[in-house]
Structure 1
């Protein structure tokens, strides 16, 4: 090929790449139920569903690499075996928060379709497996469920409020979505408080909650529909808001989320099938929301995506994928 033509092709190719940044996970690994992104030093981390809890890192929010799982293969906290019979080490939907100089990682233990579930918490001084201080220490059970009238103890979501108080939201189908204040020293539900039902219930399809504060409002994001079916997944994200982190939460029309309310935030668009599991990273004046979706251009594989979050007339909007 003549040098001039080759140069033109290279320039065209570079221009195309700038307009169409590559999906960092294409052809590599899958992500389902990503946690809130944490930044330690110059490295970003998130955790997701997987054997031993999948751990993923990046230095630029674009290119992600799998790191060491939280629990090594075949090992997990002993209390889980007597609480969730049949558990095989495949942890679901973790979330992470830094407080008291440590990272608190909340994780779900269950089996598919079961109401017998538990959320536990482990702590580590650092997220970097290369650090001599790296060590996940399990702190035990946070909440359990046993029957279908309970709030199913999976899908934890965490919020540290501007006053330093910390809240947990969790749940899937069955008894709906629950919310409770946590003790910031133990990471467990605060003594003398109770879990409040804030969305769903009566076996309705509510799960993957996330609590976000913006201004004077608390926004409860959650998923409706069905996950985990690849191209046939029907997941979509809805939201309600409240002036209290424990609700009640209502949608744009004023309908309570426990009565079937929920304002649509994001549904299937093009190759992005069944988006879900909101996590918020605030950095450099930007609100970046992490989600997973099923890729219609890659046989429905579950992948990670970042979108910018904005608020219009007091309600959240998830803009197109950043990278």
Structure 2
């Protein structure tokens, strides 16, 4: 009996360790990674940094820093008159392919300010070595001015099975907003109103990501506080809906606009403050990229890639 108990505990410990180990990590400092993209056998992600940091890999194991989207010290002119004090440090980009091009959405703001904007740039390819590589800015998508607005940072994109594309975004302040995009312009569809799908009342909701699985749409969102290294309290929650524009409710039926949210992932072992979900279907598996603060490396922020699975209709990150 004792031997069986010891064996069971050992097996449980092993399974827990497996569940806590990402598919991939990278030593490159990474914050707010975009949804992974795959082009011509190479994976790409973009993240917070001067000019928008770009990183690539052929195997999800060995990662390489690429040239930034915008040369350091340069950025689209419209930002200067929209976000005073912006100095070229872009936040939390996300990327999606539409119309034979990559659309890269990026955030412009200053820390703690509600004066923010999300812009979009396009390129036929992600490969800087290609003669077709060229990022062309298409201007502002949404903006915010006061703490009552949806703070215009942290864009997340999702293409539905019918080809329609949706944007979720926001941080604290007015909560998380959602709207359908025009797939030709990449901007919010004419006549569309941005609706609140989570948070509000200055509460700690940010970094949204939208994903469809079967008949449900899942809204991943972060609670807690990022950007504090080992002291970061970020954790990921989720709600689901039968519509990409909500309402989203958690496992107990609580609306995410009223404080609901089912826990998906929190600090585990050396992986401090996980957050900023992006989802990529890769063959028969679904991968989720996140960032975390590495307790084994003085709290540096890094990317981790985990398997996304669904059990009883709710997501699990392994």
TM-score between both structures, scaled by the size of structure 2: 0.92
Secondary structure of 1:123's aligned partner: strand
Once the two structures are superposed, residues 188-247 of structure 1 have per-residue CA deviations (whole angstroms, 9 ceiling, x without a partner) of 000011100000000000000000000000000000000000000000000000000000
Aligned to 1:61: 60
Equivalent positions of 1:112-131 (< 5 A) are: 112-131=111-130
Matched, 1:144 2:143: yes
Once the two structures are superposed, residues 32-89 of structure 1 have per-residue CA deviations (whole angstroms, 9 ceiling, x without a partner) of 0000000000111000000000000000011111001000011100000000000000
Contact 1:166 1:181 in 2 (8 A): yes
Aligned to 2:208: 209
Distance 2:22 2:170 in 1: 35
Once the two structures are superposed, residues 68-115 of structure 1 have per-residue CA deviations (whole angstroms, 9 ceiling, x without a partner) of 100001110000000000000000000000010000000000000000
Aligned to 1:242: 241
Aligned to 2:26: 25
Aligned to 1:171: 170
Matched, 1:41 2:40: yes
Aligned to 2:291: 292
Contact 1:178 1:196 in 2 (8 A): yes
Equivalent positions of 1:65-84 (< 5 A) are: 65-84=64-83
Contact 1:24 1:64 in 2 (8 A): no
Aligned to 2:14: none
Aligned to 2:4: none
Distance 2:109 2:293 in 1: 22
- For residue 22 of structure 1, report the CA deviation from its aligned partner: 11
Contact 1:30 1:302 in 2 (8 A): yes
Aligned to 1:304: 303
- For residue 25 of structure 1, report the CA deviation from its aligned partner: 2.9
Find runs of 4+ consecutive structure 1 residues off by over 6 angstroms. 20-23
Secondary structure of 1:82's aligned partner: helix
Once the two structures are superposed, residues 265-284 of structure 1 have per-residue CA deviations (whole angstroms, 9 ceiling, x without a partner) of 00000000000000001011
Secondary structure of 2:296's aligned partner: coil
Aligned to 1:265: 264
Aligned to 1:108: 107
Distance 1:134 1:23 in 2: 27
Distance 1:244 1:150 in 2: 23
Secondary structure of 1:297's aligned partner: helix
Distance 2:261 2:33 in 1: 22
Aligned to 1:317: 316
CA RMSD, aligned part only? 1.2
Q: Which runs of 5+ in 1 are unaligned?
A: 1-19
Distance 2:67 2:125 in 1: 13
Secondary structure of 2:297's aligned partner: coil
